[in-house]
Amino acid sequence: MKRYGIQIFMTRICICVFAVSLTMLAPLIVQIGADFGLGLGGSGFLFTAYYISNVFFCLLTPRLIRLLGKKRALAAGLIVYGVSTLCFSQARSLVVACVLISVMGALATFIEAVGMDIIDSLASDAAASNLTVTHAFAGIGCVVGVLYAGTMLQYGMSWRIIYLVFSLTVGVVTLLYCVMRFPEMPVHDAGSLRDLTNILKKRSFYPTFLALFLYVGAEGAIAGWMATYMTKQLGYSALIAAAGTSVIWFTLTLGRMVCARLVVHWSVRRIVSMLTVICVTAILCAVLLPSALTFWVALVGIGCGMSGMWPLIASTPLQTGNNGGSIMSIILLFGYFGSSVIPYLVGLIGDALGMRTAILAGALCFVLMGLTVRYLIPHHLSDRNHQDKKVQYAFEER
């Protein structure tokens, strides 16, 4: 591992860059939409555009890795990602902007997947610990993304300048990555089409896929629209609103480390039920109680509540002895589908009924998700303690 320490660090920086783009859209969503003459509902379609290509691209990624090789695949992804970000900053047509942001979303997923694969190859002797550290870098990127966008907005920069500067940063990272020497890395089969079809035939997995659809969509709705809620409903500046969203992401990252320890003692059903109560209660406090102190404490509660939900729910089908790569592809597919649909619908609700009602709609999605886990996921999948390494795989993949 020490031999390839620089290569691992550089790959983590690439993943950090992907995570920056994941959250920087939230503070900018209203300004971007307004530039194209859109209201809140129309602006919410940008979330759909960003995530919709991921629904299909997550299934193509393993094949592209096998075709190009890991090092070249990540380099190609970074180059196209940087170019599409640059072009997005200059887009004058809504259709062109939606196409480009869709490409950015797909390439962000590709960069994450290939980067994780590279680190797994370079640090195979300590994969679990190294991938956990890598997700810490992704968490840092999520926090930096929203703070970067909020700070630039506070200083009067337009969303176009913000994305232009970011594209130049991606270019620098890409150049550094491309000139770095990497060892030959084997490419493994991540599962065939037959594996994917067989998994989709297992009806016992459907509640898990539904829960992931609801969770990822609700996470995108709450984290994506919270900055807008803070500026439009509570009157905070763009910078403070970005800081509020970063509190959610920072707490979420720390909470996942705690949940990774709890899962060896408690069942998935028990932990997710507890997290759902924390998350929904915190959202209600943030929206319904007038105290500023209560609101900021509630943001911490929202991050804590969301922290372990995805990896815990995703771990349930990984315990069944099926191909892990194939199952993870299906898991990502349903999650990205949720990200494509629910934040857009929440934006429409905000346009029609106000942002307070929109945030409450996100809370309702969490309630439905919690009920799905508690009552629909088969007991043999959700009622046991996960003491083997596959639950760690789920935490690492997220």
What's the CATH code of the domain at 267?
1.20.1250.20
- Rounded Cα distance, 309 and 376, in Å: 16
DSSP assigned state of 388: S
Any domain includes 296: yes
Residues 146 and 218 in one domain: no
Q: Which two tokens stand for residue 257?
A: 């480390």
3-class DSSP state of 92:
coil
End position of a domain, from candidates 117, 148, 181: 181
Any domain includes 21: yes
Residues 2 and 44 in one domain: yes
3-class DSSP state of 378:
coil
Residue 321's Cβ-count burial label (10 Å; 0-12, 13-18, 19+) is: exposed
Any domain includes 126: yes
- Rounded Cα distance, 316 and 326, in Å: 14
Q: Name the nearest CA neighbour of 138 among 157, 160, 119.
A: 119
Q: Which two tokens stand for residue 145?
A: 């993304």
End position of a domain, from candidates 154, 181, 208: 181
- Rounded Cα distance, 22 and 76, in Å: 19
Any domain includes 367: yes
Residues 285 and 151 in one domain: no
End position of a domain, from candidates 158, 181, 204: 181
3-class DSSP state of 187:
coil
Residues 371 and 333 in one domain: yes
pLDDT at site 1: 45
pLDDT at site 381: 61
Instruction: Answer for the pair 386, 315: CB distance below 8 angstroms, yes or no.
Output: yes
* Alpha helices per DSSP H over 36-68: 40-68
Residues 299 and 349 in one domain: yes
- Rounded Cα distance, 149 and 26, in Å: 9
Q: Which two tokens stand for residue 152?
A: 């630039």
Q: What is the pLDDT along the chain (398 residues), one digit of tens a residue?
A: 457 778 888 998 998 988 898 889 989 998 999 999 988 888 888 988 998 887 777 677 777 877 888 889 999 999 999 999 999 999 999 999 999 999 998 888 788 878 877 887 777 555 555 656 777 788 888 889 999 999 999 899 999 999 999 999 999 999 999 999 888 776 655 555 566 677 777 788 889 999 999 999 999 999 999 999 999 999 999 999 999 999 999 998 888 778 777 777 788 888 899 999 999 999 999 999 989 999 999 999 999 999 888 888 887 776 555 545 567 677 778 888 899 899 999 999 999 999 999 999 999 999 999 999 999 988 766 665 554 555 555 555 56
Residues 74 and 31 in one domain: yes
Question: What's the pTM value of the predicted model, to 2 decimals?
Answer: 0.83
> Containing domain of residue 356, as a range?
191-398
Residues 317 and 217 in one domain: yes
Residues 113 and 202 in one domain: no
Any domain includes 186: no
Furthest CA-CA distance within the chain? 58
Taking residue 388's Cβ as centre, other Cβ atoms within 10 Å add up to 12
Residues 2 and 64 in one domain: yes
| Amino acid sitting at position 259 | C
- Rounded Cα distance, 175 and 282, in Å: 43
Instruction: Answer for the pair 15, 134: CB distance below 8 angstroms, yes or no.
Output: yes
Residues 163 and 265 in one domain: no
Number of domains in the chain: 2
- Rounded Cα distance, 34 and 119, in Å: 40
Give the end-to-end CA distance of the chain in Å, rounded to a whole number.
Answer: 22
| Amino acid sitting at position 87 | C
Residues 112 and 74 in one domain: yes
Q: Name the nearest CA neighbour of 336 among 213, 253, 202.
A: 213
Residues 198 and 152 in one domain: no
Any domain includes 248: yes
